[in-house]
Amino acid sequence: MKQTNRTLSIFLAILMLFSAATTAFAAGGNGGGNNPLSLVSAKVGDADLEGAKIAPGSEIALTFSNNVTDESVLAGNIGRIKVKDSSNAAASITVTPGADKAVFLVTLGDLAKGSYTLTIGQDFAAKSGSTLGTKVEIGFQVNKGNGTGTGGGNGESPLEVVSVKAGDKDLEGAELEPSGTITITFSRGMDINQAANFERIGIYDKDGKKVSNVSFSDFRKPDTDSKGSFTVLTYQNLAPGEYTLKLGKDLLANNDHTLEKAVNITFTVKDKDAERVDFIRSFLDTIAELIRQIIDFFKGLLRK
């Protein structure tokens, strides 16, 4: 009987040790466990970061499989995301948590043209305690306009603004509704650097303040054989007054050419209240004129 109890005790101890070892491995080892951590995507706009050619100031979205922005891991994770140039020197970046708990946003500084590598340390951790386990490295290029004159690049395939339309009319000097769309067409493809390009397009009020309630469609080709592309800017609830659409000189085409010279286009937004007042005033003037004509008619009858 004693021998049986001793055997069972040894067997139970072995089971407990095996259970503890399994639990420890699941909690640590190479990001394992039942909910391992991994990098789902690294994007600039809709394009993959790997091998992309992007502009200085671009925003990179890193999406992970788990919650990586919880306060318990936030500070440490920010320090584990780095960008280095071809000489292995640290590049200027800003790392912030995204709206989604699984997303970090990496905004590049005013980087020089060249090759760069984004790295994420192997100890990058999720709230659950899982880690990547393996260092992540993603290579990409930063490009700037590399020439002089309009569009840069020695004048070959320059970037130009083809048209800026509000409906069927040119935006310059137009009077628009408080909410609507503006179509901006360029001579070259613009989608590779899309996120950064959108940051270089904005509507500003007469005080120079950038309007916030603006969104953009993805760049796409016109329904022609043109090599250009366009985006539709949607604005909402603008107050009456004068505005300026600004297209920054650093807008970057897929062929690495820039706009070089900023484009500013002014327009106004209708004052609906003023329109109503003008309508009422016109209506009352018409009624008053009609009454005067009736009075004059009866005066004429009385003279007879």
Q: What DSSP assignment string belongs to 63-127?
A: EESS---STTTHHHHHHTEEEEETTSPBPPEEEEE-SSTTEEEEEE-SPPSEEEEEEE-TT-B-T
Residue 29 pLDDT exceeds 50: no
Token pair listed for 283: 């209506």
The pLDDT value given to residue 226: 64
Task: Average the pLDDT over 134-143 and give the result.
Answer: 92
Task: Average the pLDDT over 105-117 and give the result.
Answer: 91
Neighbours of 200 (CB within 10 A): 19
d(CA 182, CA 232): 6
d(CA 102, CA 73): 12
Q: What percent of the chain has pLDDT over 90?
A: 48
Whole-prediction pTM: 0.45
Q: In terms of DSSP bridges, do strands 59-64 and 103-108 run parallel, antiparallel, or are they unpaired?
A: antiparallel
For 73-82, 111-120, 284-293, which range has the lowest pLDDT when averaged over its residues? 284-293
User: DSSP 3-state assignment of 274?
Assistant: helix
* pLDDT tens, position by position, 147-177: 333 334 434 457 899 999 999 899 999 999 9
User: DSSP 3-state assignment of 2?
Assistant: helix
The pLDDT value given to residue 24: 40
Task: Average the pLDDT over 222-251 and give the result.
Answer: 88
Q: Which residues of 280-296 are buried (b: 16+ CB within 10 A; e: fewer)?
A: eeeeeeeeeeeeeeeee
The pLDDT value given to residue 215: 94
The pLDDT value given to residue 304: 63
Among 13-22, 74-83, 146-155, 214-223, name the most confident range. Answer: 74-83
The better pLDDT of the pair 284, 68 is held by 68
The pLDDT value given to residue 225: 59
Which domains, from first to last, does the chain contain?
Answer: 36-142 (2.60.40.1220), 153-273 (2.60.40.1220)
Among 73-87, 133-147, 156-170, 279-293, name the most confident range. Answer: 73-87
- Whether 247 and 159 have beta carbons less than 8 Å apart is answered as no
Q: In Å, how far are 50, 81, 97 from 68, measured between CA atoms?
A: 21, 12, 9
The better pLDDT of the pair 255, 214 is held by 214
- Give the contacts of 129 (CB within 8 A, at least 6 positions apart): 27, 28, 33
The pLDDT value given to residue 13: 47
